[in-house]
Amino acid sequence: MIRFLDADIPINKNIEISLTYIEGIGRKESIKICKKLGLNSKILFNSLNNQSRSVLANYIESNYIHGLQLKRLKAQNIEMLIKIRSYRGNRHYFGYLVRGQRSKNKKIRRHI
């Protein structure tokens, strides 16, 4: 494992799969990144040299919200929903299911 952009990246997998270990980057985005930078997505992450890793890191940092920034942004959005007392915010506050899932057989956390 290599620490890359605040994520543990496996070195024995290809770049296309390895980039998905970064929070906020999925499979399609990793393919787009590889095409944009001209990298072969089927080579191992281990075989990248330091220059190509730095180019990859700079591109991701400048064009994507990832890792801790993404987690912080999600938390701020949920706090804002709770603050304005919206329906979804109340569901988050009381620990209920938010997106319309069935709740008959689900364990529900309550803050009361």
Q: What is the CATH number for 28?
A: 1.10.8.50
- 60 and 78 assigned to the same domain: no
Q: Is the confidence at residue 24, as pLDDT, over 70? A: yes
Rounded to whole angstroms, the Cα distance separating 91 from 97 reads 7
Q: What is the pLDDT of residue 87?
A: 94
8 pLDDT exceeds 60? Answer: yes
Q: Quick one: 76 and 58 in the same domain?
A: no
Domain residue limits at 46: 2-64
Q: How many domains does the chain have?
A: 2
Residues 57 and 17 in one domain: yes
Q: What was the pLDDT predicted at 33?
A: 93
Measured distance CA(30)–CA(59) in Å, rounded: 12
pLDDT tens-place string over residues 77-111: 999 999 999 999 999 998 888 888 877 766 666 66
Distance of CA 71 to the CA centre of its chain: 8
* Confidence band, pLDDT 50/70/90 cuts, at residue 50: confident
Average pLDDT, whole number, for the chain? Answer: 87
Same domain, 58 and 81: no
Tell me, yes or no, whether 57 and 79 share the same domain: no
Helix or strand holding residue 102 (H, E): none
d(C-alpha 19, C-alpha 21), whole Å: 5
Is residue 43 located within the same domain as residue 11? yes
